[in-house]
Amino acid sequence: MKKSTKNTFKKTLLGSAVLGLAMGLGMPADSSAEGYGYAYAYGNDGFDTITPFSRVARLPVVRDQYGMVDHVATYAKVKAAALALARYVALSHDATVLGTNVIKGEDWVLGGTSLACRKTQTCTDTEILKAIIEIPSPEPINPNDSTYLATGTVTAANTKKASVLDFCNEVYAKQALGVSPIVGTSKVVNGYSHTPALPCEVSVWNDDEHIYVDMLDPNAIFSMFFTDVLFSADMLNPAFADAITDLPPQVKSEIRAVVLHAMNEFDDKTKVSDKALGPKYKSMAEVVDVVANSPYQSPYKHVGYTKVDGAAFTAADSLAATQAIINTMSIHGTATEGVHPTIIDAAGNTLDSILSTGSSWRSARATPMTLPGNNHVVEACSPKYAKMAMSTGLHHVNALPCEVTVQIIDRDGNGSTETLVVSYLDPHFMLNALFADITEEQKIAFAAIPGNIMNDLQKVVAAALDVNSGMALNPGVQISYNMLPY
């Protein structure tokens, strides 16, 4: 990211967030409280428009001898490009390749790979390939396929998918999740609660004109999913405010550097891009508005569970509960993917009987992805709902899959981790915030979908914890954190 853009982002958050905090605390908008006059001065006038998605690079499609797009060969190139990017992330020492002036944190690693792979950077191609998530779309790989031309039906073999990679960086993840201080001893408030907004996702996909490499824009994600931090009292500390607002631009610049290096190595005809994609937010007030108008006034829904016997949860319990959710949901790439035979009541009804028709939920991975602080992530996917989301434009793919996270916390502050918290990235917020650029007709058509998704995910989790976790738990209780400046 250019220095000027980075500084503008800092001004944006320092100004609008601290101004909002001041107003929320009943302080006058023109307050020049000692040390903070510079922050108040910017207000929303300094807000730099943000979008949830950003294009990093563009590669040429494959053409035949007549200059026509070879759809099959282009799709194969998409997969090869995704593998090349994944291999670079999994196997390279970024600071050595790109320089310490570019890489300020530790190496970026490929989410979904084993601890041994991440620590030693000796991953096999088999493991690296499994780490790439393939999100199906309603579009065909080859529009000239005979079956598609004859019937208009996109077969499984002809379904175009976008490749999604999870980028993780231990230093930045620890700071974002409140595991490590931002500055001094000041940490992100309620750090674990932001886990569903991580890790950083990068996608590779194509149309008939180009192959694209896009990313979730860290500046926008921080602004939209960490509003509780932006409006916290910590922002009145200039050192904290400076450090926290430096974080997203640095993350973005490092991911861009990694992607551009890997793609130029893969194809020297790669073109650099920095295109904003998705809905535009032109003021912090617009960001606050979309949070305020979501069902939980938050991008997340958190549900806490306690043991019937009152005992504390161990780290092993947390991991076991997460694995139970994955096993109950079913695992992609297995013979039973999308099938949920779990018996949920005395009448013998199965989980499948109460999930939305044709949802075919599965976990993208056989085991959870664990982020710093023992935050466990389940990446849930329904081909039905994924295709519906992708029908609005494949640039939305980095908003998928649906993330469910598990953590154990000491909620009552007595030193014992008595609460197991399951957190959901709220589908209502995702539709309203990250898909706000879809047509009004699509918004009407999709109105019921977020509710179906949330209901399905909660039913899977309930079945997993009630039936398959091996623990006797009390009914879940919703936990809320104030994400707004009032």
Average pLDDT over the chain reads 91
- What's the whole-number mean pLDDT along residues 343-360? 96
Predicted confidence at residue 31, as pLDDT, reads 35
Q: Is 57 helix (H, G, I), strand (E, B) or coil?
A: strand
Instruction: Give the per-residue pLDDT at 32.
Output: 34
Q: What is the pLDDT of residues 8-43, one digit of tens each?
A: 555 555 555 545 444 444 433 443 333 322 232 234
Residues 6+ apart with CB under 8 A from 462: 476
- The C-alpha atoms of residue 272 and residue 270 are separated, in whole angstroms, by 7
Q: Could you state, in order of their start, the residue ranges of all structural domains in the chain?
A: 1-47, 49-479
SS3 state of residue 120: helix
pLDDT tier, 1 (very low <50, low <70, confident <90, very high otherwise)? very low
DSSP 46: G
Tokens of 228: 């509780």
| pLDDT (0 to 100) of residue 219 | 96
361 vs 28, which has greater pLDDT? Answer: 361
Q: Which is more confident, 80 or 8?
A: 80
pLDDT on residue 39 = 32
Judge whether 256 and 2 are in contact, CB under 8 Å.
no
Residue 107 and residue 257 in contact, taking contact as beta carbons nearer than 8 Å: no
CA distance 437 to 424: 23
- Beta strand segments in 79-146, E: 109-110, 133-140
The yes-or-no verdict on residue 459 having pLDDT over 80 is yes
Nearest to 167 by CA among 265, 258, 243: 258
3-class SS of residue 24: helix
For residue range 271-329, what is the model confidence (pLDDT) as tens digits? 999 999 999 999 999 999 999 999 999 999 999 999 999 999 999 999 999 999 999 99
Query: Per-residue pLDDT for 136 more than 80?
Result: yes
Burial of 96 (0-12, 13-18, 19+ CB in 10 A): exposed
Does residue 381 have a pLDDT over 50? yes
Q: What is the mean pLDDT of residues 348-365?
A: 97
CA-CA-CA-CA torsion sign (318, 323, 328, 332): positive
Compute the distance between CA of residue 399 and CA of residue 80 in angstroms, rounded to an integer.
Answer: 22
Whether pLDDT at 464 is above 50: yes
The Cα–Cα gap between 45 and 334 comes to 52
121 band by pLDDT with thresholds 50, 70 and 90: confident
- Residue 16 has a pLDDT of 52
pLDDT at 22: 45
Omega of the bond leading into 401 within 30 degrees of 0 (cis): yes
Q: For residue 480, name the pLDDT band (cuts at 50, 70, 90).
A: very high
Measure CA 274 to chain center: 20
